[in-house]
Amino acid sequence: MNKDILVQKFQQALSYEDFVASGAAEGHDKTWNQRYEQLTLEPEQQEMISGWVREMNVLCLTGTWCGDCSLQGAAMARIAEANPKINLRFIPRSEEHGDLITISTINAGHRVPVSWFMAEDFEMVSWFGDRTLSRYRSMAEKQLGPGQSGCNSPRPNDPVREVLNEVLNEFERVQLLLRLSGRFREKYGD
């Protein structure tokens, strides 16, 4: 992944509020606002996130029209609100950002959302794309029938909360990767 492209796109990207507002003319903001209201953090999640010490920059390529994007985007916004060391930005999947779309293909397709997790210096740490595992489990059961996906895991009881948990797991994984990084432990003496 080209660090310069990510830095440039991060600088052009929008805050959660501005990105959601950009879809208001088409009525897309309603779904985003609904998901945001549904996805409050549990006290123990809030406490864990607020204790993170490493800065991370997160860039999400997304669309205001996308249902999975609104769910993951709202989850990411809630997580970022819990710690000022998380710098979260959203960029629309549009022709203007074709270079970013091209480098984010998944399974030979241009999918959204796709998120890049970067360190404080914008070095790439991880990327996370398309739907979460629980969303695919739900889709497989609906489209293929119960027990037909070849996977033994059931659909979650609360699919919305499960997506929040899955997104939070990725943020936590990145935070631990940064926290245990030799270069940052040396830099911060911890």
pLDDT tens per residue across span 55-106: 999 999 999 999 999 999 999 999 999 999 999 999 998 777 667 777 777 8
- Has residue 19 got a pLDDT over 90? yes
Mean pLDDT of 134-162: 82
For position 97, what pLDDT does the model report? 66
- Has residue 33 got a pLDDT over 70? yes
Mean pLDDT of 14-34: 97
- How many domains does the chain divide into? 1
Instruction: Give percent of the chain with pLDDT exceeding 90.
Output: 71
The b-or-e profile of 8-31 (16+ CB within 10 A means b, else e) is: ebbeebeebeebbeebeeeebbeb
Mean pLDDT of 17-38: 97
For position 131, what pLDDT does the model report? 87
- Averaged pLDDT of the chain: 92
Instruction: Give percent of the chain with pLDDT exceeding 70.
Output: 98
Q: How confident is the model at residue 30 (pLDDT cuts 50, 70, 90)?
A: very high
Range of 93's domain?
A: 3-188
Say which CATH number the domain at 141 has. Answer: 3.40.30.10
* C-alpha distances in Å from residue 162, one per residue of 63, 121, 138, 177: 21, 31, 11, 23
Mean pLDDT of 166-182: 98
Query: Do the bridges between strand 86-92 and strand 56-62 make them parallel or antiparallel, or are there none, so unpaired?
Result: parallel
- Has residue 132 got a pLDDT over 80? yes
pTM of the model as a whole: 0.92
